[in-house]
Structure 1
Amino acid sequence: MIAAIMEGVPDVISGSDGFPEMSGASSLLTDGVWVWRRDLAYYLRRYHVALPDEFRDHAARNGYLVPPMEPRRIVELQKEANVGCTYFDRP
């Protein structure tokens, strides 16, 4: 996880509250190449959203597992993801 955001958000497609992944839904996950929101699985199940072929192929090549990353790389990705986000600039 490169950004843990502890808030509840509405379903971005229907606008309704109370879906299972609502808490921390906009937290960002990564495998070092792709970045996605924590609630992506919800939208896949509920709405059958389409994923880019490149994403699916990449996941399949990795056996659908997130490979281990060096802590330094995780910090780099966190900084990239948080560019322009003043919330994360707090000490």
Structure 2
Amino acid sequence: MTNITPLGIFGRIASQSAFSGNADELRRLAGVIPEGERGRIAEYLRSGTPIIALMGFSEDILGKKFSRSGGTAIMSDGRFFWRLDAADYVEHYGIELPEEFISHGNSRQWVPPVLSREEVVSVDRHLCHLKEIGVL
């Protein structure tokens, strides 16, 4: 399972303070996903499998519309990985996501797979490797 792809701006393993440096980029990506599609995409993101559980608390860096315990945790569907609070940004702001992810989600009817223990370990190892070599 080494073909795991970061989910755009949300595929960065970063503390809340480091992630807050992305506010301008998030603003540029806002409003792309239509309101009628945001809920099912956000639910998919929330329903991914936790890979790296982090106790951090994240707060909306754009408009103070939400906060989330564990928002910096890393989730995955086996093909992509993202921060848990990505769901909130999609739901509240319609933040643009890569077309490859949108196609992937549509093909699954926005039902994420349940990853096996072996798949979780594989994704975790790959992310650790990417972190070690400085990609993340």
TM-score range, shorter chain: 0.7 to 0.9
Q: How many pairs align?
A: 82
Structure 2-normalised TM-score? 0.53
Gaps spanning 5+ residues in structure 2: where? 1-49
**Equivalence map 1:57-76=2 (5 Å):** 57-76=103-122
Shift of residue 43 of structure 1? 0.5
Aligned to 1:42: 88
Give runs of ≥4 in structure 1 deviating > 4 Å: none
Structure 1-normalised TM-score? 0.75
Greater helix proportion: 2
Aligned to 2:57: 8
Q: Percent of aligned pairs with the same residue?
A: 27
CA RMSD between the two structures: 2.0
Aligned to 1:19: 66
Gaps spanning 5+ residues in structure 1: where? 86-91
After superposing the two structures, state which structure 1 stretch, 34-43 or 60-69, moved more.
Answer: 60-69
Q: Does structure 1 retain, via aligned residues, the 8 Å contact 2:58–2:85?
A: no
Aligned to 1:77: 123
Greater strand proportion: 2
